[in-house]
């Protein structure tokens, strides 16, 4: 039985003090959930969020995991402005988002870079949320399945099955994020099935069926129950709805 994962990607939002206040509001609201909760602050807010979780009595038994939104494809070196996996590990970060659609779109992140980051994160036992997804032009051209399969294959190139542990995939239909268009639960389910079939061809059925696949296309309190009812949707990667404790906790507690 795959665990449900609700991950909040804060993107370029929240100062360190705002992040601490958010965590103090959120933790009591999600303390009784059996779902896994992930928050991904900006780099500068990571230490404050980690400390807030550590300082809280609630957090001693908390299932809130702190993730980074990105990391460098290199351990160290002359890469100004980048953040090393070694630094993230030392802080106590447990996982990292790799290949987010905004990194691919705005910063020209390539499939080979995504692959290098995934390998480096797993080398250092850092969990990974790997993002894949097609844009509107690709979907309207009937290329969605091909594009997503190619992204999955490229990301996992040279990755041994033993490294798949602590890894989840997030399907982001880029065309359904902030465009006014929406992906139906059936659309999302169909792509999640396609991703599992792609993984099964790369590895085996057992691995494909054991991997959590999250949905990341404008998830909100009013559509999460329908999405989570789909047998192949194992959680959500949430953007805007993760910025308010009440909204995000409603997503985490969708099954209450």
Strand extents, DSSP E, the chain: 5-9, 36-40, 64-68, 95-98, 127-132, 167-171, 212-215, 235-238
Q: Please, how many CA atoms are within 13 Å of residue 97, restricted to the half-sphere of its CB?
A: 33
- Residue 172 a catalytic site member: yes
How far does Cα 9 stand from its chain's mean position? Answer: 7
**109's torsion region: left (phi>0), alpha (psi -120 to 50) or beta?**
beta
- Residue 18 a catalytic site member: no
In the set 102, 109, 134, 172, the catalytic residue is 172
- Residue 80 neighbours by CB under 8 Å, 6+ apart: none
In terms of residues, how long is the chain?
256
* Residue 88 β-bridge partners: none
Q: What are the DSSP calls for 40-63, one per residue?
A: E--GGGHHHHHHHHHH-TGGGG--
Q: Measuring CA to CA, how many Å separate 138 from each of 98, 143, 184, 207?
A: 21, 5, 17, 28
Radius of gyration for the alpha carbons in the chain, expressed in angstroms and rounded: 17
Q: Which residues are catalytic?
A: 100, 172
């Amino acid at each position: 039985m795959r665990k449900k994962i609700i991950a909040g990607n804060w993107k370029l939002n929240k100062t360190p003090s705002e992040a601490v206040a958010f965590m103090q509001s959120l933790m009591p609201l999600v303390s009784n959930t059996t779902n896994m909760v992930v928050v991904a602050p900006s780099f500068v807010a990571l230490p404050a969020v980690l400390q807030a979780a550590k300082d809280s009595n609630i957090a001693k038994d908390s299932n809130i995991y702190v993730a980074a939104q990105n990391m460098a494809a290199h351990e160290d070196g002359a890469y100004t402005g980048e953040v090393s996996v070694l630094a993230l590990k030392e802080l106590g970060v447990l996982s990292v988002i790799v290949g987010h659609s905004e990194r691919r779109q705005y910063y020209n992140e390539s499939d080979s870079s995504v692959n290098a980051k995934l390998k480096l994160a797993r080398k250092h036992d850092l969990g990974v949320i790997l993002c894949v997804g097609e844009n509107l032009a690709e979907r309207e051209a009937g290329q969605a399945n091909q594009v997503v399969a190619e992204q999955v294959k490229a990301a996992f190139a040279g990755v041994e099955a033993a490294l798949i542990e602590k890894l989840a995939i997030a399907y982001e239909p880029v065309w359904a994020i902030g465009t006014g268009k929406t992906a139906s639960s059936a659309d999302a389910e169909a792509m999640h099935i396609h991703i599992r079939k792609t993984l099964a061809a790369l590895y085996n059925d057992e691995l494909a069926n054991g991997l959590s696949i999250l949905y990341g296309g404008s998830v909100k309190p009013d559509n999460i129950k329908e999405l989570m009812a789909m047998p192949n949707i194992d959680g959500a990667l949430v953007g805007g709805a993760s910025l308010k404790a009440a909204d995000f906790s409603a997503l985490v507690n969708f099954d209450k």
